[in-house]
C-alpha cells in the first residue's frame, strides 16, 4: 500500500487517525491499535513477507531481553547481518562466485521483504544502545511498535530508542486542530513531490532503460534521475512524517534541502540524515572516527561509505557509488586542512555536479552502463536540432526541479510556519486543491524508489 494511493489517503489513514483520536479523547492507550494498524499496513503491502518480518522482530526481542549476557550483542548483530544478507545478497554472491570460479550455480528465488534494510538497522542500533546503556529494555508491545510503526517501516527514517520511545509512551495527548492542519499541508507537499518525481522518471527511464544515447539525453536523463530520486524519497518521508504527526508522533527529519549543500560533508548532513547518523554512530566512530590521524580518518570514510553503498543494494554499481562518496569525503577532509574554502556558490555548484555524477552509478543497471553514460555526458557536443526540439519540454521540467530544490523553502520550514500559525489562507487552499487535483493519477503511481532497498 502506497502513501500516494487512494486507498491509503481516503480509507486507511483516515480510519487509523480517526480511531486513534477517539482513543486519545477517552484517555485510552493506543499502543495496540497502532500495532494492529501497522500489521494491516505491512500485510496489505506484502503479505508473504509478514512472517519474515515477525521472525526478525521476535528473535531480536529475545536478544534484547538477554543482552547483558556474554556474547549476546555479538550474536545479535551477527544474526541481523546474516538475516539481511540471506534475503538481499544471496544472488549477488552466487553471481560473483560463478564469474570468479567459472561455476554454474543457479540463482534462487528469494523474497525481498519490504523495508528489511531499514528495520534491520533499527534493531541493530537498539541492541548496541542497550549494551552501551543508552537505551532501556522494552516490553513486547513497546518493542513491536518501535520497529513496526507503519509511517516508517517501508523506507525509514531509521529511528532510535531515544527519539521514539518517550513519544510512544506519551502518545495519548490529544491532537490539536492546528497540528492536524499543518500535518495535512505537509502530506500534500509530499504527495506533490511524488507526482513531480514520477514526471522526472519518464525521461530518466528513457536514458537508463530506453536506450537513448546522446550528449543531450545523457544530461537530461541523469538530471531527471537526480530530481526523481530526491522528490520521490523526500516526498515519501514528508508523507510518513505527516501521518505520524496526526498520530502525535514526530519522526526524525530525513532531508534538509540537500542540493543546497556547499560540500560533500554538508550534503550528508542534509541527505538521508538518519542513515548518516547511523553510519556515524555505529560504524565511523567505532572504527576510530577522526581520532587516529588523517590517514585513518580518510580510510574510515572510505570503509563506511563502501558499506553504506552496499547497504543500498546488492550490486557493484552501489559499491562504486559508495566508493565515490567515501573518496570525496576523504578529499574534502584534506581540503579543509588547507584552509582554502570555496566561495559558497562555487561550493554548491561543485557539490551538486558531483552528486549528480554519482547518481549515474546509483541508477545504472551495471557499472559498464554507468561508464557509458558518463562518457556520453563529456563527449563532444553534437547539436542535433530535431532532438533538441523534441526534448525542450523536458528541459523546462528540469528548470522546475532546480527552482524547487534550490529556491523554494523545504517542507519542514513550511510545516513549522503553518504549525506556528504563520500561514496564508490562500496559500493553504491552493495547496489543498493542488493535492486533490493530483489524486486523479494516484492509483497509477509507481512505488517509491527506496522500497526496493
Report the candidate in 420, 41, 414, 431 with the shortest Cα–Cα distance to residue 243: 41
Residue 211 confidence (pLDDT) = 74
Distance CA 329, CA 347 (A): 14
Per-residue DSSP letters for 209-226?
Answer: TT---SHHHHHHHHHHHH
pLDDT at 255: 96
- Whether residue 449 is predicted with pLDDT greater than 80 in this model: the reply is no
Per-residue confidence (pLDDT) for residue 429, from 0 to 100:
53
260 is written with which cell numbers? 543546497
Predicted confidence (pLDDT) per residue in 52-91, tens digit: 999 999 999 999 999 999 999 999 999 999 999 999 999 8
Q: What is the pLDDT of residues 90-110, one digit of tens each?
A: 989 998 998 888 888 888 888
**pLDDT value of position 13:** 96
Query: For the chain, which residues make up each domain, given as ranges?
Result: 31-170, 178-452
**347-379 residues labelled b (16+ CB within 10 A) or e (exposed):** bbeebbebbbbbbbbbbbeeeebbeebbebbee
The single residue of 272, 312, 332, 356 carrying the catalytic annotation is 312
312 tagged catalytic: yes
pLDDT digits (tens, 9 = 90+) for 326-383: 999 999 999 998 888 889 999 999 999 999 999 999 999 999 999 999 999 998 766 5
What confidence tier does 443 reach under pLDDT thresholds 50, 70, 90? very low
**Segment 414-425 mean pLDDT:** 72
Helices 344-363, 316-338: inter-axial angle, 10-degree rounding: 160
Q: What's the pLDDT tens digit per position in 423-438?
A: 555 455 555 555 555 5
Mean per-residue pLDDT for 378-403? 74
Judge whether residue 233 has pLDDT over 50: yes
> Which alpha helices (DSSP H) does 339-424 contain, by range?
344-363, 367-377, 385-402, 411-419
- Across the chain, mean pLDDT equals 89
Amino acid at each position: 500500500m502506497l502513501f500516494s494511493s487512494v486507498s491509503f489517503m481516503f480509507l486507511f489513514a483516515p480510519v487509523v487517525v480517526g480511531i486513534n483520536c477517539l482513543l486519545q479523547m477517552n484517555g485510552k492507550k493506543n499502543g495496540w491499535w497502532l500495532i494492529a494498524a501497522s500489521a494491516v499496513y505491512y500485510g496489505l503491502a506484502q503479505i508473504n513477507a509478514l512472517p519474515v518480518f515477525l521472525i526478525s522482530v521476535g528473535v531480536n526481542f529475545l536478544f534484547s531481553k538477554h543482552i547483558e549476557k556474554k556474547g549476546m550483542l555479538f550474536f545479535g548483530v551477527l544474526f541481523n547481518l546474516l538475516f539481511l544478507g540471506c534475503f538481499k545478497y544471496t544472488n549477488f554472491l552466487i553471481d560473483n562466485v560463478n564469474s570468479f570460479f567459472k561455476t554454474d550455480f543457479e540463482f534462487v528465488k528469494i523474497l525481498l521483504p519490504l523495508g528489511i534494510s531499514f528495520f534491520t538497522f533499527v534493531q541493530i542500533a537498539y541492541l548496541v544502545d542497550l549494551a552501551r546503556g543508552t537505551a532501556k529494555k522494552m516490553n513486547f508491545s513497546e518493542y513491536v511498535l518501535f520497529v513496526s510503526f507503519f509511517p516508517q517501516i517501508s523506507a525509514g527514517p531509521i529511528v532510535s530508542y531515544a527519539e521514539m520511545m518517550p513519544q510512544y509512551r506519551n502518545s495519548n495527548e490529544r491532537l490539536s486542530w492546528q497540528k492536524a492542519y499543518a500535518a495535512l499541508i505537509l502530506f500534500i507537499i509530499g504527495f506533490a513531490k511524488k507526482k513531480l518525481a514520477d514526471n522526472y522518471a519518464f525521461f530518466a527511464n528513457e536514458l537508463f532503460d530506453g536506450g537513448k544515447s546522446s550528449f543531450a539525453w545523457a544530461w537530461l536523463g541523469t538530471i531527471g534521475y537526480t530530481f526523481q530520486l530526491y522528490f520521490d524519497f523526500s516526498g515519501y518521508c514528508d508523507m510518513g512524517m505527516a501521518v505520524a504527526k496526526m498520530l502525535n508522533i514526530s519522526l526524525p527529519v530525513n532531508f534538509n534541502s540537500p542540493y543546497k549543500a556547499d560540500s560533500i560533508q554538508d550534503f550528508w548532513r542534509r541527505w538521508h540524515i538518519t542513515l548518516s547518523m547511523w553510519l556515524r554512530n555505529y560504524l565511523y566512530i567505532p572504527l576510530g572516527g577522526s581520532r587516529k590521524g588523517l590517514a585513518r580518518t580518510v580510510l574510515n570514510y572510505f570503509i563506511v561509505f563502501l558499506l553504506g553503498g552496499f547497504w543500498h543494494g546488492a550490486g557493484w554499481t552501489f559499491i562504486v557509488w559508495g566508493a565515490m562518496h567515501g573518496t570525496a569525503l576523504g578529499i574534502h577532509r584534506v581540503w579543509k586542512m588547507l584552509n582554502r574554502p570555496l566561495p559558497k556558490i562555487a561550493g554548491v555548484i561543485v557539490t551538486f555536479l558531483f552528486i549528480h555524477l554519482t547518481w549515474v552509478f546509483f541508477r545504472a543497471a551495471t557499472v559498464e552502463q554507468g561508464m557509458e553514460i558518463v562518457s556520453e555526458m563529456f563527449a563532444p557536443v553534437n547539436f542535433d536540432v530535431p532532438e533538441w526540439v523534441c526534448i525542450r519540454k523536458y528541459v523546462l521540467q528540469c528548470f522546475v526541479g532546480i527552482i524547487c530544490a534550490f529556491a523554494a523553502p523545504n517542507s519542514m520550514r513550511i510545516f513549522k510556519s503553518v504549525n506556528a500559525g504563520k500561514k496564508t489562507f490562500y496559500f493553504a487552499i491552493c495547496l489543498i486543491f493542488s493535492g486533490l487535483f493530483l489524486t486523479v493519477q494516484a492509483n497509477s503511481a509507481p512505488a517509491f524508489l527506496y522500497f526496493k532497498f
